[in-house]
Amino acid sequence: MTTVPKKTKSKPDRVGRDEASERLVQAVISLLDTTPMNELLVDLITEKAGLASGHVLVHRYFGSRLDLLSEVAHTLAGQMIDGLRANVETLKNDLADPIVFLTAYGPSIGVFQKRALVVSELVLHGFSPEIHSADMKEILDAVQAMMELRDVPPRAARATALNVLTLITMETTHSGWMGATQADRDDLRSMTFIEIGLASQVSEMLGWK
């Protein structure tokens, strides 16, 4: 009789503090693509990160699952800010092409959606929005800078940036509660892009300088 060897489960890694912290943060960011927030628990995060003693490491390096999520929100903000600032430099040579300009927002939208989910979870559990307000201001500044590349006046650029980010946040965190379908969300995205293109005209209608 042939004995079938048992499959052995790979042992979780034991690594230093910096690598373990980074793995945990990146594990959450990756899991946000497929996992509802209420299922994003420490055991799953630890397994994704490939680390031993997950609960111990989360407690030791962050304090709690929510503190880990707070660091994730900060990391995602940094990714978005870096991407938008890079776009400002790149798009200086493509101002005549509105399609190039609008599609440049694409990668940043996905990052911001993840951040919106995480921040919504933090606020739900009593975290103060002020903890991440500095990140939000930098994101607003970066989006405003992109708007101003198309000669949108600063006041209108700021208002449009805030409008776009608010809509993305609401779409990500509340559209399901509103009964919105995917088609509804796609229409909202399309309308938002049109609003970006019309920011200068709207500014003139409002009498903004």
Mean pLDDT in runs of 10 for the chain (209 residues)? 55 76 96 94 93 84 95 95 81 58 71 93 91 92 85 90 87 84 84 80 86
Q: What integer pLDDT is reported at residue 40 of this predicted model?
A: 94
Q: What integer pLDDT is reported at residue 26 of this predicted model?
A: 97
Q: What integer pLDDT is reported at residue 135 of this predicted model?
A: 94
Q: What integer pLDDT is reported at residue 199 of this predicted model?
A: 85
**Nearest-angstrom CA–CA distance, 120 and 185:** 19
**Nearest-angstrom CA–CA distance, 185 and 53:** 40
Is the backbone of residue 50 left (phi > 0), alpha (psi -120 to 50) or beta? left
Q: What integer pLDDT is reported at residue 64 of this predicted model?
A: 94
Q: What integer pLDDT is reported at residue 149 of this predicted model?
A: 81
Q: What integer pLDDT is reported at residue 188 of this predicted model?
A: 82
Q: What would the 3-class secondary structure string for the chain be? A: CCCCCCCCCCCCECCCHHHHHHHHHHHHHHHCCCCCHHHCCHHHHHHHHCECCHHHHHHHHCCCHHHHHHHHHHHHHHHHHHHHHHHHHHHCCCCCCHHHHHHCCHHHHHHHHHHHHHHHHHHHCCCCHHHHHHHHHHHHHHHHHHHHCCCCCHHHHHHHHHHHHHHHHHHHHHCCCCCCCHHHHHHHHHHHHHHHHCHHHHHHHHCCC
Residue boundaries of the structural domains of the chain: 14-63, 72-206
